[in-house]
Structure formats: C-alpha cells, structure tokens
Amino acid sequence: MVDGKPINLGLWDTAGQEDYDRLRPLSYPQTDVFLVCFSLVNPSSYENVKAKWFPEISHHAPNTPMILVGTKLDLREDRETLERLRDRRMAPISFQQGMQCAKEIGAVKYLECSALTQKGLKNVFDDAIRAVFAPPPKKTRGKEGVCLLLFTGLNVYVFAPHFSSDTICVKCNVKQ
C-alpha cells in the first residue's frame, strides 16, 4: 500500500552484469521508473552511476524518472568495512556525495537504505511508485545547457540536451 492505495510492483534486477549489456536495454521501453543503485561502501559502484548507468538509461529511456539509491547503509559505520576502505585509501560515499550525484544526473530523488536492517527500504519503493504516478512539478536548467523538465499530468521525465547556448528547448521553451 502506498498513500492508501494497493500497488502491484514488478521488479527487474539487472545487477549490472556485463553479460546482459546487450539484452538489458530491451527492457527499458516498458520501464516506469529506474532505481539506480550503488553501494555506499564501494566507490567504483558509485562511479559507475555517471560512467555507465546514467548514459545508458538516458540514451535508451530518456523520458523515464530515475531515483538514485545508496545501498548497504548499515556498512557505512561498520568498523571492519571502514578499516578495509582505509587500507585502500578510500572512504564510504557520504550523503552529500549521493545528493550531488543525483542532482548531476537529474534524478528525481536520492535515497539511502539497508536491505539488512530494512532502514529506508520501504521509502525506496514507496517513492519509486510516487515518481511514476505523481512526479513533483519541476522545471529547472541543469548543467551545461541540459533542460530538466517534469510534466505532472503526463508522468514523463524529459532529458533534452541543447545544441548551442542560444537555442530554445522545444519541450519547455526556456532560452538557453
């Protein structure tokens, strides 16, 4: 139940396996919302958000909302995990880093959760459903001439790169 309404939610976990790189995009046109997940204690997982997942999703499904999700929240304070990261001269991904990444990729929300402790887990799925049925009205200019626009009634997220600084976005009529 979300907001008092029963919801049937189907999930497809691609787990980022390279074996599925060619097959994965075939599922994108039927996708209502993407949960782009990364491990809060694996910096390379975080880097793949911008290097792999955002480009792939924005290419194959530019009109679909994304929620960025930091996982393994319970390990961000775990002593053994912190020691292992320190030994490799690394640190867990902070909430601020996650928020910044979400802003850069135009995600409709940034959330953190732990499957182990269940902390924040229900919020991830509830907010994913809300992103499909009632996206927040938003009209802003992103970095480097990218227009980010949500149509509340149409439930679509538009990612429209602009070609020059003096063009006008055909979706929102914002002069760039």
User: Which whole-number Å values give the CA distances from 76 to 98, 119, 139, in the listed order?
Assistant: 13, 13, 34
Structural domains present in the chain: 18-134 (3.40.50.300), 135-176 (no CATH)
Strands (E) located in the chain = 34-39, 66-71, 109-112, 138-141, 146-151, 156-161
Average pLDDT rounded to a whole number, residues 66-94? 97
pLDDT by residue (tens digit) across 103-134?
999 999 999 999 999 999 999 999 999 998 86
**Minimal CA–CA distance to 24: which of 67, 71, 61?**
61
- 154 has a pLDDT exceeding 90: no
Band (pLDDT 50/70/90 cuts) for residue 135 is: low
Q: Which sign, positive or negative, has the C-alpha torsion 128, 134, 138, 144?
A: positive
Question: What are the strands of the beta sheet with 34-39, ordered from one edge?
Answer: 34-39, 66-71, 109-112
- What pLDDT sits at residue 30? 83
Q: Which residue has the higher pLDDT, 75 or 175?
A: 75
The tokens for 64 are 């679909």
- 37 has a pLDDT exceeding 60: yes
Residue 176 · residue 166 · CB < 8 Å: yes
- What pLDDT sits at residue 29? 84
- What pLDDT sits at residue 164? 34
pTM of the model as a whole: 0.74
The whole-angstrom separation of Cα 108 and Cα 93 is: 19
- Percentage of the chain exceeding pLDDT 90: 55
- What pLDDT sits at residue 27? 82
The whole-angstrom separation of Cα 66 and Cα 61 is: 10
